[in-house]
Amino acid sequence: MRMEKMMVGLSLALSAIVWGQKGPVKTNLTPYSYQTFNCDNKGYFDASKYEIEEIDGVNKLLYKFNGVHFDTNPIFKLSSLEEVRRNKDQHLENLERQYQEKKEELYSLKVINQPVWKKLHENAIQTFENEYELNKEEIIAFSDPTTLKNSRFYETCRESIDAISSPDREKMFASWKTYTELKSKNNADPKGVMNRFNAKMEDPQREDYALIDMIGLSFHNCANSSFRQRRDDEGTVYKDFDRIFTKLKKNCDEP
């Protein structure tokens, strides 16, 4: 009898443990497709952890807002320089229109509430704002180089800006020559680079040629590198995004 009571007690205790345990956590796997640089991807994310708007937001940060944001025409020729001067207001209006359209989308993105994605969003906004300002400053400076004295990037690119905006054109020409000599060292035909420079220096429009290189290359590259976010070589954030999905399949084009 005593043994039977012990067995009944043990059975009841085990039953209580089983009933007290929570059932397995259920996941709500939702399909999601997205394109990377050369792959079509399809996987599933846990809808109990993420919202579709958050996934979309991170996707856009990685693959839409990760590069150049504005459609502008680089100035490499005298004809392009003359055109941007002649239609300066139109170029500024076009830039402003793009800015307002893209700003609304970028600022309103909903991203996954984790530090890595919040930081990525903040960086994208900062890059976007700086790129807008850089494009605006360049359009204006091609008509009036002295405006660069008030540039957002003055402290970073002081040397280039001081040469470009100086009333002493010889100072700009000297800086232009120094910049070209440095650039020629990384060119497959350094002698050819310097020959073309010397030909421009002999041209009656040498000041315009200098502005094309000094604003569009020297200043632009300096300012651009000061705010452009560098993607790490391993593409950590891209791998982090892929890890959100289970049963992920990639269909990639051959490089």
Query: pLDDT by residue for the chain (255 residues), tens digit each?
Result: 544 444 444 444 444 444 444 555 556 899 999 998 889 999 999 999 999 999 999 999 999 998 889 999 889 999 999 999 999 999 999 999 999 999 999 999 999 999 999 999 999 999 999 999 999 999 999 999 999 999 999 999 999 999 999 999 999 999 999 999 999 999 999 999 999 999 999 999 999 999 999 999 999 999 999 998 666 544 789 999 999 999 999 999 876
248: its two tokens? 């992920």
233 in a structural domain = yes
Question: What range does the domain containing 164 cover?
Answer: 52-239
132 in a structural domain = yes
- Mutual orientation of helices 206-213 and 78-86 as an angle, nearest 10°? 80
253 in a structural domain = no
6 in a structural domain = no
94: its two tokens? 């076009």
- Which positions ≥6 away from 251 have C-beta within 8 Å? 39, 40, 41
CA separation for the pair 253, 234 (Å, rounded): 20
Cα radius of gyration rounded to whole Å, the chain: 29
Which amino acid makes up residue 230? R
Confidence (pTM): 0.84
Total structural domains in the chain?
Answer: 1
